Every structure is written in structure tokens, then in C-alpha cells.
Structure 1
Amino acid sequence: MPGDARDDAKPRRERPPSRRASEPTERRRRRRDEEQENAPRRQEEPAQEQTRRLGAAEAAKVAVDHVTALTGRESEGVTSLERTDDGWLVGVEVVESHRVPDSTDLLAVYEAAVDHSGQLVSYRRVDRYARGRGNER
């Protein structure tokens, strides 16, 4: 058709390759170089995360996990929690011996010292008593 816009359209002009075409490649190259430079820093980051300070609830949970793993006995709960200069001092109550009836079970309180990163520093048994006689020690 003689009046068709397609026939009258000018052919597209080919653009010479510009510098823009290589910019994404250049950016990728720079980013890769920066990542390689920062790689040693990234390896240090997990070590920094280990030095973060535990909160009270986290310290109590970590201490319970340590005491139950070391004693092989089930935990009844946390009886005390104290922040120290070096971390946390946590009292963990465990069942030393199950008896019938349950009111005569032997319980013990272990004191666990946990540092700020959650590592166990020390633990010791500080008390042992029958469940029904906790106040008569």
C-alpha cells in the first residue's frame, strides 16, 4: 500500500558499539575485585559474632544444656541467674535420682559459670536434697 507508514519508515541506523555495553562487565570485575579484597574481613566476622554477649535467657538455656550434657540427668529448671564480670553464674536444678513416689526424688543444684560467648567455664554441685524437703536443709 502506497500510504503505509511501514513503507515510508526510515531504516534504523546501526549504532557503533559504545562504552556502555562494557560497563556491566566492568562493574562485575570491580565488584569481584572488591569481594576478594574484603574476603579476609568476611572470615573474621564469624569470630566477632562469637564474642557477642549473651542475654540472661540465652545464658540460662546454654547453662542448662551444658549441665544436662555433662551430668546426663534431666533438668528441672533454673534456680538462679547472676551476671558476673566474666559472664553469667547460673543455678540449674536437676533430678539426681527418680523415686516412687515422685515427692521423694533426689534433686541437686549445679552452679554453672558461662562466659559471654556461651562457653562453659566451670560447674559444680552446690546442693543435694529430697524434693519434698527443699527448705529443711
Structure 2
Amino acid sequence: MTNAKKTTESQDSNQSSRESQNSLESRNSRESRESHTPQKSRRPKPMEVLREARAQLAELTGMTAESVSSFEQTEEGWVLEVEVLELERVPDTMSLMASYQVELDAEGQLTGYRRVRRYERGRADARGSR
């Protein structure tokens, strides 16, 4: 009688294990199909673009973006001008800042950047120039 009970428990346990495995395989298969199904690309919101641009520029340059001074949506994507602390000095007004032009595609992925200006934090632009 004890052997019959153990055999039944063992069969029930194996059945439960197979059902769990089948359920897991079914879910993984469905998730795999969903991730490979082409979805209509969603254009990111402006704040998402700003955050992503700052994060990507910081990762590439190793410098933290302090502010975004220009932001424009174009046919190809987005163009931003980001102010970055390049060299920290004491006093802070002598620190070197830089403006970077950052270009992103329509999905918000960085496609290029370049430094367009370098200046001391405490200096104002000359009248008529950047």
C-alpha cells in the first residue's frame, strides 16, 4: 500500500512538473513572437529625448551635461545644444564649459555630436556672437 501511494504521488509530481514546463515554454514562445513582431515605432516625447541625449552624451564623453540650451525637432530626428562642464576649477567661475551639438535619430538614439564652443563659466558671450 505504501508503494502504491508513493507511485501515485510520484506520478502527480511528474505531471505537475510537466505542466509547469509546458506553461513556461508556451509563455517564452509567446514573448519571443511578440518581441520579433514588427511594431509601429513610436516617436519619443521631447522630455524622453532630452534625458536620453544627456545620458548618451555623458556615457560617450565621460562629462556630465549641465543644461540643454537649444532643442529642435527636425525631419531626421532631433538636434540639441548641450552645455557640459569640461574642466572644473577653483573658483567655479573659472571652470571651463563647452557647448556640444548633439544629433539624434527619430527614435532618440544619438547619431553624432561635436563641440561647437568652449568658454569659462563666468564669462558672458560678446554682444552679437554666440
TM-score by length of 2: 0.68
SS at match of 1:132: coil
2:39 to 44, 48, 51: 48
Task: Give unmatched runs, 5+ long, in structure 1.
Answer: 1-34
Q: Report the AA paired with residue 132 of structure 1.
A: G
Which residue of structure 2 lines up, in the alignment, with residue 5 of structure 1?
none
Select which of 92, 96, 106 maps to 2:96: 106
- Rg: which structure is higher? 1
Q: What does 1:52-91 align with in structure 2 at a 5 Å threshold?
A: 52-91=42-81
CA distances 1:10-31 after superposition (whole Å, capped 9, x unpaired): xxxxxxxxxxxxxxxxxxxxxx
| 1:48 shift after superposition | 2.4
Provide the C-alpha distance between the structure 2 equivalents of 1:120 and 1:132, rounded to a whole number of angstroms: 30
| In 2: Cα distance, 1:87 partner to 1:48 partner | 19
Give the alignment's TM-score, normalised by structure 1. 0.64
Conservation of the 8 A alpha-carbon contact between 1:67 and 1:110: no
Q: How many residues align?
A: 101
Sequence identity (%): 40
Whether 1:129 aligns to 2:122 is: no
Residue by residue over 1:24-78, the C-alpha shift from the partner in whole angstroms, topping out at 9 and shown as x without a partner, is xxxxxxxxxxx89x95752334x526x2101111111111111111111122111
How much is the aligned-residue C-alpha RMSD, in angstroms?
A: 2.4
Aligned-pair distance for 1:100?
0.5
CA separation in 2, counterparts of 1:72 and 1:43?
32
